[in-house]
């Protein structure tokens, strides 16, 4: 087994390198190396859109690919983000076929289901993917999954493990979603419980590790058991919760976006209003993995080790 990891220098990528190198050779590609060299690990500075990717896989005899590289925070240039996310994934898949790779693991997202009023209370892997065009991240994840489905039909010899995480939290997580929890008061929309499902970063790493090591295939939601509505999140954080009518918040976002005061538009109101809530039954019963922490336990861990630590350091 020889594994190539795209986006290898990120937190999840480096954790996977550390877990896999005792078992097999690992090659990592990213735009720049951020971690020190280690045994059984070869780093190559390369864009996932590079034409040289096929040759790299052939040279190293790659059998398994873990595709982590993606645009996590949307840029003003949506076409650039699309090129990296969708065309980049297509290039990685084409390279896998040309190099005779046996197994492909990809981190998609629960956002691929989309943020819709008629989403079921709990989304399973058989529910349709309707990633909203108004959210670049959600829409691109949907397009990537449509691409993956085409490759499953046309190239069945390349086994696919598609993982759809909910909100990933850990000791050092810092992103647009965690920024919501750091504010002095939280925001909710009247009539919308807006529940979050959380998955511990160490659970994500262990699931990918087991999937690669045992060449598991299939599509799985990644979420701790249970969900947390905004009211419960506010209670854990001991912060006030502002509950506003959708029309009022939508109007404020429309004006603020037009004046350049916020990056969020009124169309993105649905991000708070109709969050996809992921059922982890298939992960537990078919993949054979029960997350070590429930959604609430993941959030409490994050608050204790991340938010409280940040407050103490001030």
The confidence band for 310, taking pLDDT boundaries of 50, 70 and 90, is low
Domains, the chain, with CATH or none: 2-174+199-228+277-295 (3.40.50.720)
Q: pLDDT value at position 176?
A: 80
Q: Are 130 and 188 in contact (CB under 8 A)?
A: no
Q: DSSP string spanning 99-142?
A: HT--EEEEE--GGGG---TT--SSB-TTSPP---TTSHHHHHHH
Average pLDDT over residues 120-133: 96
Integer-rounded Cα radius of gyration of the chain: 20
- Range scoring the smallest mean pLDDT among 23-37, 88-102, 151-165, 218-232: 23-37
Average pLDDT over residues 202-212: 98
pLDDT tens-digit map of 49-106: 999 999 999 999 999 999 999 987 777 889 999 999 999 999 999 999 999 999 999 9
Q: pLDDT value at position 265?
A: 64
The confidence band for 314, taking pLDDT boundaries of 50, 70 and 90, is very low
The region, left, alpha or beta by phi > 0 then psi within -120 to 50, assigned to residue 61 is left
H/E segment holding residue 198: strand 198-200
Average pLDDT over residues 229-244: 92
Mean pLDDT of the chain: 92
Q: Is the pLDDT of residue 263 over 70?
A: no
Q: pLDDT value at position 312?
A: 41
- Range scoring the smallest mean pLDDT among 81-85, 265-269, 279-283: 265-269
Q: pLDDT value at position 267?
A: 65
Q: Are 306 and 173 in contact (CB under 8 A)?
A: yes
* Global confidence as pTM: 0.93
What is the tally of helices (H) and strands (E) in the chain? 13, 11
The confidence band for 313, taking pLDDT boundaries of 50, 70 and 90, is very low
Average pLDDT over residues 249-257: 75
The region, left, alpha or beta by phi > 0 then psi within -120 to 50, assigned to residue 194 is left
- Range scoring the smallest mean pLDDT among 219-233, 241-255, 261-275: 261-275
Closest CA to 246 of 254, 238, 258: 254
């Amino acid at each position: 087994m020889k594994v190539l990891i795209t986006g290898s220098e990120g937190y999840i990528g480096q954790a996977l390198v550390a877990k896999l190198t005792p078992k097999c050779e690992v090659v990592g590609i990213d735009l720049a190396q951020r971690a020190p060299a280690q045994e059984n690990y070869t780093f190559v500075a390369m864009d996932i859109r590079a034409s040289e990717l096929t040759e790299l896989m052939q040279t190293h005899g790659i059998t398994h690919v873990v595709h982590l590289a993606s645009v996590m925070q949307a840029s003003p240039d949506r076409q650039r983000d699309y090129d990296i996310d969708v065309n980049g994934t297509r290039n990685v898949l084409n390279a896998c076929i040309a190099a005779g790779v046996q197994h492909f693991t990809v981190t998609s997202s629960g956002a691929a289901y989309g943020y819709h009023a008629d989403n079921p209370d709990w989304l399973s892997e058989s529910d349709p993917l309707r990633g909203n065009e108004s959210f670049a991240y959600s829409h691109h994840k949907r397009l990537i999954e449509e691409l993956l489905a085409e490759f499953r039909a046309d190239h069945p010899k390349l086994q696919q493990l598609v993982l759809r995480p909910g909100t990933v939290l850990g000791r050092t997580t810092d992103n647009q979603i965690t920024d919501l929890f750091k504010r002095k008061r939280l925001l909710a929309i009247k009539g919308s419980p807006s529940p979050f499902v959380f998955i511990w970063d160490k659970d994500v790493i262990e699931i990918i590790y087991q999937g690669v090591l045992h060449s598991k295939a299939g599509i799985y939601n990644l979420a701790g058991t249970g969900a947390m509505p905004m009211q419960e999140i506010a209670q854990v954080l001991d912060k006030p919760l502002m509950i506003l009518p959708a029309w009022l918040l939508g109007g404020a976002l429309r004006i603020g976006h037009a004046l350049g005061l916020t990056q969020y538009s009124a169309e993105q109101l649905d991000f708070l209003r109709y969050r996809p809530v992921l059922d982890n039954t298939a992960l537990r019963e078919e993949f054979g993995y029960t997350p070590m922490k429930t959604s609430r336990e993941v959030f409490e861990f994050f608050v204790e080790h991340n938010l409280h630590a940040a407050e103490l350091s001030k």
